[in-house]
Amino acid sequence: MDLNKVIDRNFRGNIYIVQGENVLFEKENGFADLANEIPNTLETRFASASTGKVFVAVGILQLIEKKKIKFDDTLGMLLSMEFGEIDKDVTVRQLLTHTSGVPDYFDESVMEEYEELWTDYPNYKIRHNSDLLPLFINKPMMYPKGGKFQYNNTGFVLLAMIIEKVTGMHFDEYLKENVFDVCGMKSTGYFELDKLPSRCANHYIYCADTDDYRTNIYSVDAKGTGAGGAFVTVKDMVLFWTNLINGKLISKELVSEMLRKQSGDGIDPEEGYYGYGVWIIENPDGRDFAYVQGCDPGVSLISEYNPNNGIISALVSNYGDNVWEEMRKIRKELY
């Protein structure tokens, strides 16, 4: 089995696949800095877009396990703020499972590109969760709480705000101390685009009119929030899954709940079900697969755990290349 024969040779980014202590496949291609032709390496930190939702979910589950909050606690109980038309009885569980109905500041059913958000509201203002409030706080509920599953970015912004309210820490500081440091994820963090540390990739958007690339610095939040935006390496994603599965972050019993179907209708074979912060692919021949994903202008990431054979995969591109198609090839070859 040689994945080099099936993986797109022009894929730009990193691929890292392990099974226990064995590295099954690794690939680094493309430039972290296109203008200076600095190549991507296994140590390159990539923006991960919505992948960060899984870190927030773990943070919330830790607080639940410590009895600081409960699944059925409501927004009105946990946050001191004006909610406008948002239902204050929305629960933590509903936020975790995208069944809350709260107004989504980036509703992917009506808005195609994330950078459309910044037409009238500059992206450099977004450095804290509360900075996103003007984009959703005065909008009506999308549907009654608990009414259905619909992917929702605002829900995880509110979950991050709950972490901040309960712990008295910025959510990214909490996650560093209680998730990243515990896992040994030394390269992972929430960084400001105008103050990036070393080894961070630039992320590129292709412009057909000029047949050239531009960076995404005006297309995404200046700093990540509960909805996403952490910088990660592929090795750190493997460390995250490994420590999560081994019960280092939350109990194995709660991990089992996190990685099982909690919401969704199963119509879409890949995005039909959701656990807590993770997507679930139903597997009729064994245990279900769990994965996280992120997509922003110039950003694409998927990282998956197969409990049937212990394979963990991480694929990321700083050119927005199709990581999902490459992951389908990997499943076909390795599963």
pLDDT tens digit sequence for 193-245: 999 999 999 999 999 999 999 999 999 999 999 999 999 999 999 999 999 99
Q: What per-residue confidence (pLDDT) applies to 275?
A: 98
Closest CA to 158 of 149, 171, 146: 171
Long-range contacts, stretch 240-245, CB < 8 angstroms, 24+ apart:
240/54, 240/55, 240/179, 240/183, 240/185, 240/188, 241/303, 241/305, 241/312, 242/183, 242/312, 243/182, 243/183, 243/184, 244/58, 244/183, 245/305, 245/307
pLDDT in tens, 88-121: 999 999 999 999 999 999 987 778 889 989 988 9
| Alpha carbons 65 and 44: distance in angstroms, whole number | 34
Q: Among 276, 228, 283, 289, which residue's Cα sits nearest to residue 249?
A: 276
pLDDT at 252: 98
Task: Give the distance from CA 155 to its chain's centroid.
Answer: 13
Per-residue pLDDT tens digits for 299-325: 999 999 999 999 999 999 999 999 999
Alpha helices in the chain (DSSP H): 53-65, 75-78, 92-96, 153-167, 171-175, 181-183, 234-245, 252-258, 323-334
Dist CA 316 CA 47 (whole Å): 9
What is the token pair recorded at 68?
């600081």
Greater confidence (189 vs 108) lies with 189
> What distance, in Å, lies between the first and last C-alpha atoms of the chain?
12
For the chain, domains (ranges, CATH) are: 3-334 (3.40.710.10)
Per residue in 40-64, pLDDT (tens digit) is 999 999 999 999 999 999 999 999 9
pLDDT of 156 strictly over 80: yes
User: Which residues fall within 8 angstroms of residue 110, CB to CB, at 6 or more apart?
Assistant: none
160-188 pLDDT, tens digit per residue, is: 999 999 999 999 999 999 999 999 999 99
Eight-state DSSP code of residue 272: S
User: Is residue 171 classed exposed, middle or buried when 0-12, 13-18 and 19+ CB atoms within 10 A define those classes?
Assistant: buried
Cβ–Cβ < 8 Å for 97, 60: no
Q: Which of 291, 278, 277, 290 lies closest to 60 in space, CA to CA? A: 277
Cβ neighbors of 180 (< 8 A, separation 6 or more) are 55, 186, 188, 189, 236
Residue from 76, 57, 60 nearest 68 by CA: 60
Q: Which of 211, 196, 202 is nearest to 297 (CA)?
A: 202
Given the structure tokens 């199709």, which residue do they identify? 322
Q: What pLDDT is stored for residue 265 in this prediction?
A: 96
